[in-house]
């Protein structure tokens, strides 16, 4: 079976766009696809999902529960516990492992809350 070449017909709606406009259109369409997925993740995460994410980041199983509980207590679950650990790691310029261990000990939680309130 030979497919009829209809490329010129299908591209008419974008034919006159500049490279910049094509670039912007690409990212706008990508956001339309990704944003609902992110929203689903924020609304539908569970402690077990968050523990699984942390385990895959290399966090010890003993620390995952403490971090998940800390995130729940501070209203950060919707941001993702892996994201919390990652942002603390970047902000403090320490490794993911060090950030996770510190959060499990109860350190840096005020900083984490502030980061997400400020939208960092």
User: pLDDT by residue (tens digit) across 55-105?
Assistant: 999 999 999 999 999 999 999 998 999 999 999 999 999 999 999 999 999
Q: What is the pLDDT of residue 119?
A: 63
Asked if residue 4 has pLDDT above 90, the reply is no
- Backbone phi, then psi, for 4, in 5-degree steps? -70, 135
The pTM for the full model equals 0.68
- Residues 9-38, mean pLDDT to the nearest whole number: 93
> For residues 80 and 53, is the Cβ–Cβ distance under 8 A?
yes
- Residues 6-11, mean pLDDT to the nearest whole number: 90
> For residues 103 and 88, is the Cβ–Cβ distance under 8 A?
yes
Higher pLDDT, residue 51 or 41: 51
**45 confidence band (pLDDT: 50, 70, 90):** confident
Instruction: Provide the 10 A C-beta neighbour count for residue 87.
Output: 20
Residue 66 is encoded by which pair of tokens?
């403490």
Residue 37 is encoded by which pair of tokens?
């997925």
**120 confidence band (pLDDT: 50, 70, 90):** low
């Amino acid at each position: 079976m030979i497919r009829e070449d209809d490329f010129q017909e299908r591209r008419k709606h974008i034919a006159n766009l500049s490279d910049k406009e094509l670039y912007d259109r690409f990212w706008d369409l990508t956001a339309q696809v990704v944003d609902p997925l992110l929203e689903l993740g924020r609304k539908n995460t569970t402690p077990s999902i968050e523990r699984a994410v942390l385990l895959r980041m290399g966090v010890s199983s003993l620390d995952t529960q403490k971090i998940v509980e800390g995130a729940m207590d501070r209203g950060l679950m919707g941001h993702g516990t892996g994201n919390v650990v990652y942002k603390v790691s970047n902000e403090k310029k320490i490794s993911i492992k060090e950030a996770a261990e510190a959060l499990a000990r109860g350190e840096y939680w005020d900083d984490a809350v502030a980061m997400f309130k400020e939208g960092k």
